């Protein structure tokens, strides 16, 4: 502190010192980016290590974050004679060997690397773990509610078991909503004892502008073609790129474009703008499919002080990789979630200045064939709703209903490999009775064990102990085993023998179901699980909405807030004139369609059902209607059906006459149910239970059915 010329500590650093030095408490440190969270955790931890020795393990979600933390902590460690060690694939064997010979100081590691060490070096790592004084989790929000989060919870619990005591857990995050949820995730068995330290004084101010754009119809009201629609979208992309070039050239910025396709599109348009202006190229793409050297080049350009640079990215630069001071953030289209939006905003204004966020939201030009989401200007209103929720401090909570059976399989095999052999009851207590994985009872766990035994992944000795079978040993020995997550699965979409593209699996796909893809409505004719492809035929239904998200499922709270935006007369101060016009158009349609008290919009022989429900409930409704022979298109804020309102009401009333179906029965006809990496090892019934918990909300769907029946019955 003296060498750096600090005259005081940040509030969060002062408040964190006592509970961390106490050495018995779990602590969550929550503050905006650059508020000093890293020092808040490691000043007391390094002080403890300098005095008492031992080891602190810091788990981080990304190798790049580990490198950043290493640069920040190396000097701090040297000043106190505390060694800081990185552990990932780019670190030399010599450095790793040196650490294992003397496992002290601070170890920076990913969950996957920690998993690998527990399995491959069980006895050695057991000795290492015995000396842990603190377990730190960096970017804690990145783990909550995910497969990696479940893996992390299991790893933390296994560390406690190996050390024979309750190792204090310290979580660092810039993006957390409900702190009680975060506390339960950090210490599932004793959330009430978790100390939460929040730095409210470091709250950022945000300079925000939401700009609206209209994709002009090139057909002048005539029947649109795919080529012309694409051409119109390109014109808006050029308009957005032109504004990005004018407002961001000459400074360092991050531009989030959601999809890899959009990243490439806007990076190319901005590169061309630089060439046309005869200036050096300042805009670079960054997404997971790019080669490592290209991603690193973009990061280096952004971090360099030699010249300005802006990077167009998916979510790859959402977390706290140190890319230097970023002046502003641009968001093209609706962000994936409120939590994602909060994290993106926190990437700018990192030296005490205001965060700057520029929203660019395109909408379709309206004509006689426009659907309700377009007329409601749903993209604009959803963006406004998400900004309002972000400013109110809300983020999506983790899905407490998910079973995470894929990660349970991985952790079960990992634990058996680590120990060599375990008792089935011990495995149940470790993974399920501890609250890490939610199963109904031990019978479900026994079914899972029998399935893994039948596949040769596990075998049982004569004295009843579980050990790895031949297939299990081959699986665990492969380096890919240690990651609990996999790349999201996509399906090829085929029409008339031609591949139209790929569709992310985020809704229930069965033969006869309805999907929206490439700006058109399709009916699924065939589902091929072997080739992960679906064959489709054009639907005769009305034109679909122009935009329909393919990212994470939207939470019910977001949709409810959208309805409040429609009902409110206030125009947010952060929307520009065009976005104000779009908001007014949406509110006008909402009012004229009497949607404050109506749920169904009649359109010739079809209907549009406004549910205002989350995507899990909407998925459930679409499957229920599809099973009754009704084409039901998930349109975001609504469901488009190919029957009249009277017919829809009769089907709804018929559904309500019977008891809600079991989740397994509803999921059974779905062809693509493998969500997680190891779902392929589940029985058909377990797979149905797992899929239903992740994708369906039967109680929520029944609330929507009852609301419709009550209003019109």
pLDDT at 358 over 50: yes
More confident residue, 27 or 295: 27
The Cα–Cα gap between 80 and 101 comes to 21
Closest of 7, 8, 81, 69 to residue 42, by C-alpha: 69
pLDDT for 507 equals 65
DSSP for 363-430, written as a single string:
EEPP-TT--HHHHTTHHHHHHHHHHHHHHTT--PPP-TT---HHHHHHHHHHHHHHHS-EEHHHHHII
Beta-carbon contacts of 9 under 8 Å, excluding residues fewer than 6 positions away, are 1, 36
- Is the confidence at residue 200, as pLDDT, over 80? no
Q: What is the 3-state secondary structure (H, E, C) of 136-192?
A: EECCHHHCCCCHHHHHHHHHHHHHHHHHCCCCCEEEEECCCCCHHHHHHHHCCCCHH
Beta bridge partners of 230: none
- Which domains can be identified in the chain, with CATH numbers? 11-202 (3.40.50.300), 206-365 (3.40.50.300), 405-431+441-482 (1.10.10.10), 490-567+581-712 (no CATH)
CA-based torsion, 145, 147, 153, 154: positive or negative: positive
Identify the pLDDT of residue 545.
Answer: 57
- The tens digit of pLDDT for each residue in 22-52 reads 989 999 998 866 678 899 999 999 999 999 9
Residue 164's Cβ-side half-sphere holds a number of Cα atoms within 13 Å equal to 5
Q: What is the band of 1 on the pLDDT scale with cuts at 50, 70, 90?
A: confident
Mapping DSSP onto H, E and C, the string for 501-516 reads: EEEECCCCCCCCCEEE
3-state secondary structure of 438: coil
What does the block give as tokens for 94?
A: 């010599």
Compute the chain's Rg from CA coordinates: 27
User: For 538-565, what is each residue's pLDDT tens digit?
Assistant: 876 655 555 544 457 899 999 999 999 9
CB atoms within 10 A of CB 21: 14
Most confident of 96-110, 503-517, 632-646: 96-110
Rounded CA-CA distance 648/646 in Å is 5
pLDDT at residue 219 tops 80: no
Confidence of residue 687 (pLDDT cuts 50, 70, 90): very high
pLDDT at position 398:
79
- CA 342 to CA 347: how far, in whole Å? 9
Percentage of the chain lying above the pLDDT 90 cut:
50
Mean pLDDT, rounded, of the chain? 87
Q: What is the pLDDT of residues 379-431, one digit of tens each?
A: 999 999 999 999 988 888 877 778 899 999 999 999 999 999 999 999 999 99
Helix (H/G/I), strand (E/B), else coil: 484: coil
Could you give the strand order of the β-sheet that contains 458-460, starting from the edge strand earlier in sequence? 422-423, 465-468, 458-460
- Number of Cβ within a 10 Å radius of residue 623: 23
DSSP assignment string, 243-304: HHHHHHTTS-EEEE-SSHHHHHHHHHHHHHHHHHTT----EEEE-TTS-HHHHHHHHHHHH-
The mean pLDDT value for 641-658 works out to 92
């Amino acid at each position: 502190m003296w060498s750096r010329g600090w005259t005081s500590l940040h509030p969060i650093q002062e408040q964190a010192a006592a509970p961390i030095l106490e050495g018995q408490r779990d602590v969550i440190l929550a503050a905006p980016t650059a508020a000093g969270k890293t020092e808040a955790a490691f000043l007391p931890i390094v002080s403890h290590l300098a005095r008492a020795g031992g080891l602190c393990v810091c788990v981080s979600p990304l190798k790049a974050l580990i490198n950043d933390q290493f640069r920040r902590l190396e000097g701090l460690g040297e000043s106190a004679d505390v060694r800081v060690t990185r552990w990932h694939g780019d670190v030399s064997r010599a450095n790793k060997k040196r650490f294992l010979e003397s496992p002290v100081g601070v170890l920076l590691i990913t969950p996957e690397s920690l998993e690998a060490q527990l399995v491959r070096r069980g006895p050695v790592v057991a000795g290492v773990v015995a000396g842990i004084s603190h377990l730190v989790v960096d970017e804690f929000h990145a783990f909550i509610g995910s497969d990696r989060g479940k893996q992390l919870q299991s790893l933390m619990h296994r560390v406690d078991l190996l050390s024979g005591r309750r190792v204090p857990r310290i979580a660092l995050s810039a993006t957390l909503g409900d702190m009680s949820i975060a506390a339960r995730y950090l210490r599932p068995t004793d959330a009430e004892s978790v100390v939460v330290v929040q730095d409210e004084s470091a709250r950022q101010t945000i300079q925000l502008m939401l700009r609206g754009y209209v994709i002009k119809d090139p057909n002048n009201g005539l029947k649109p073609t795919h080529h012309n629609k694409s051409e119109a979208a390109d014109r808006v992309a050029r308009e957005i790129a032109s504004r990005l070039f004018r407002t961001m050239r000459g400074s360092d910025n991050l531009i989030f474009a959601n999809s890899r396709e959009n990243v490439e599109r806007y990076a190319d348009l901005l590169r061309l703008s630089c060439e046309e202006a005869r200036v050096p190229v300042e805009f670079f793409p960054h997404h997971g499919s790019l080669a490592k050297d290209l991603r690193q080049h973009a990061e280096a350009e952004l971090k360099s002080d030699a010249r300005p640079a802006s990077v167009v990215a998916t979510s790859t630069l959402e977390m706290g990789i140190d890319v230097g001071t970023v002046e502003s953030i641009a968001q093209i289209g609706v962000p994936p979630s409120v939590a994602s939006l909060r994290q993106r905003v926190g990437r700018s204004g990192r030296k005490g200045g205001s965060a700057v966020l520029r929203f660019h939201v395109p909408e379709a030009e309206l004509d006689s064939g426009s659907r309700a989401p377009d007329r409601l200007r749903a993209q604009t209103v959803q963006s406004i709703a998400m900004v309002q929720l972000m400013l109110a401090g809300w983020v999506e909570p983790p899905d407490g209903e998910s079973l995470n059976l894929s990660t349970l399989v991985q952790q079960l095999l990992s634990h058996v490999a680590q120990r060599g052999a375990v008792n089935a009851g011990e495995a149940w207590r470790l993974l399920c009775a501890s609250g890490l994985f939610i199963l109904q009872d031990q019978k479900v766990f026994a079914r899972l064990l029998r399935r893994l035994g039948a596949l040769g992944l596990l075998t049982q000795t004569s004295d009843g102990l579980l050990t790895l079978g031949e297939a299990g040993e081959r699986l665990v020995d492969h380096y890919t085993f240690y990651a609990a997550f996999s790349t999201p699965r996509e399906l090829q979409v085929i029409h008339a023998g031609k591949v139209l593209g790929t569709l992310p699996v985020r809704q229930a796909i069965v033969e006869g179901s309805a999907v929206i893809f490439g700006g058109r409505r399709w009916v699924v004719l065939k589902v091929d699980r072997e080739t992960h492809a679906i064959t489709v035929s054009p639907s005769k239904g009305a034109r679909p909405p122009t935009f329909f998200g393919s990212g994470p499922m939207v939470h019910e709270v977001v949709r409810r807030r959208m309805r409040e935006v429609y009902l409110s007369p206030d125009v947010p101060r952060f929307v520009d004139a065009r976005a104000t016009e779009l908001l007014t158009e949406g509110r006008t349609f909402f009012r004229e369609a009497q949607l404050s008290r109506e749920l169904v919009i009649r359109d010739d022989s079809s209907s549009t059902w406004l549910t205002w429900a989350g995507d899990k409930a909407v998925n459930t409704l679409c499957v229920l209607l599809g099973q009754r022979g009704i084409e039901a298109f998930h349109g975001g804020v609504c469901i488009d059906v190919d029957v009249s309102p009277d017919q829809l009401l009769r089907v709804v009333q018929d559904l309500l006459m019977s008891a809600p179906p079991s989740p397994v029965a509803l999921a059974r006809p779905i062809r693509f149910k493998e969500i997680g990496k190891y779902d392929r090892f589940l029985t058909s019934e377990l797979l149905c239970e797992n899929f239903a918990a992740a994708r369906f909300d039967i109680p929520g769907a029944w609330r929507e059915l009852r609301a419709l029946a009550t209003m019109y019955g």
